[in-house]
């Protein structure tokens, strides 16, 4: 196995130039069209490490890697000594001797950073409590399939300004689209994130009124009110009730607006069944595009 001296990690959207991000998406669209069937990752092995449960991330990475000709090893945090028994850096050094690329789905951003700093093979961020960049790459692919170039589009995020929203913020700056975040004060973007938006001249605004944020939007986006790491479910339900995406809110957006959700969805909470099952819903394309987007990221990381 050849050990790369400078692995091409994919840790967060804002770590990459727009040219790099566009190259990943172009590869994804190319392979989705059925081209590139020469199995460019034949002989390569991907290690999938999960400290959190997953449906779409696990299946889309595993099937995508196999379609590219590669092999997959799935591990949970309990099966290996990730951060206990040995350092995360030591785990990264050992895995780098066995596999060609690593995907880590974990809680703390610091674990991902420690893995990437020590690994001599590429590391992909499969989700942390701070960001979810592979999901947003799939969302951009989906939006552009449905509605064309994302530049200057208007997105309305409604609900908790969580890790998925954070990656949308990064994407809005990189791909130059407007992002309106409708959320209660208690679940707003952090001061650090607001400062980052300001420093990078992002077109991101924070609203308390979801109707104001949704009016004229090209896409409405939301996520579950209670994520895997949240312990205050009752409080969150009360805070987020006004931010539900329903037919009335959807009707305020453009007539050809689409609805997006990273899933799993809690119907009749953050979104009504009439919207997620309705003609403007793009959520099933989003789910499929997780696999295509990740194939673009995998081949970019391995330069194949």
Look-up of token digits 């696999």? 291
Rounded distance between C-alpha atoms, residue 36 and residue 304, angstroms = 10
Per the annotation, does 294 bind a ligand? Answer: no
202: alpha, beta or left? (left if phi > 0; alpha if psi -120 to 50): beta
Per the annotation, does 74 bind a ligand? Answer: no
Per the annotation, does 54 bind a ligand? Answer: yes
Is 111 in a helix, a strand, or coil?
Answer: helix
Per the annotation, does 244 bind a ligand? Answer: no
Is 181 in a helix, a strand, or coil?
Answer: strand
Per the annotation, does 135 bind a ligand? Answer: yes
Rounded distance between C-alpha atoms, residue 295 and residue 300, angstroms = 8
Q: Which of 301, 225, 215 is nearest to 268 (CA)?
A: 225
Residue 255: DSSP 8-state? T
Give whole-number Cα distances, 148 to 142, 154, 250, 259, in Å. Answer: 9, 13, 20, 15
For the chain, helix, strand, coil in percent to 5 are 45, 15, 40
DSSP string, 185-205: GGGSPPHHHHHHHHHTT--EE
Per the annotation, does 132 bind a ligand? Answer: yes
Per the annotation, does 8 bind a ligand? Answer: no
Per the annotation, does 165 bind a ligand? Answer: no
Per the annotation, does 262 bind a ligand? Answer: yes
- Which residues does the annotation mark as catalytic? 105, 132, 135, 223, 262, 290
Residue stretches of the annotated binding site:
54-57, 81, 105, 132-135, 163, 223, 227-228, 262-263, 290
Q: Which residues sit in the known binding site for L-ornithine?
A: 163, 223, 227-228
The binding site for carbamoyl phosphate consists of 54-57, 81, 105, 132-135, 262-263, 290
């Amino acid at each position: 196995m050849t050990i790369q001296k400078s692995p091409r990690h994919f840790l967060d959207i804002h770590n990459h130039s727009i040219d790099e991000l566009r190259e990943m998406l172009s590869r994804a669209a190319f392979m989705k069209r059925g081209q590139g069937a020469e199995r460019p990752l034949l002989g390569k092995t991907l290690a999938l490490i999960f400290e959190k449960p997953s449906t779409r991330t696990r299946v889309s990475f595993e099937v995508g890697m196999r379609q590219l000709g590669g092999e997959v090893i799935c591990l949970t945090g309990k099966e290996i000594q990730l951060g206990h028994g040995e350092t995360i850096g030591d785990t990264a050094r050992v895995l780098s001797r066995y596999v060609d690329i690593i995907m880590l789905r974990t809680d703390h951003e610091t674990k991902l950073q420690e893995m990437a700093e020590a690994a001599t093979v590429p590391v992909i961020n499969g989700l942390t409590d701070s960001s979810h960049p592979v999901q947003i790459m799939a969302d951009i692919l989906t939006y552009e399939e449905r509605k064309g170039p994302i530049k200057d589009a208007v997105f309305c995020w409604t609900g908790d300004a969580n890790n998925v929203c954070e990656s949308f913020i990064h994407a809005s700056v990189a791909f130059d689209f407007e992002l309106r975040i409708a959320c209660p004060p208690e679940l707003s973007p952090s001061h650090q994130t607001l400062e980052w938006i300001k420093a990078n001249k992002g077109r991101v605004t924070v609203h308390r009124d979801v109707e104001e944020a949704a009016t004229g939007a090209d896409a409405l986006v939301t996520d579950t009110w209670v994520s895997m790491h949240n312990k205050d479910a009752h409080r969150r339900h009360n805070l987020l009730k006004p931010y539900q995406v329903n037919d009335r809110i959807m009707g305020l957006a453009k007539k050809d607006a689409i609805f997006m959700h990273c899933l799993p969805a809690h119907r009749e909470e953050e979104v009504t069944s009439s919207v997620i099952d309705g003609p403007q819903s793009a959520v099933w394309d989003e789910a499929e595009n997780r696999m295509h987007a990740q194939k673009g990221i995998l081949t970019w990381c391995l330069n194949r």
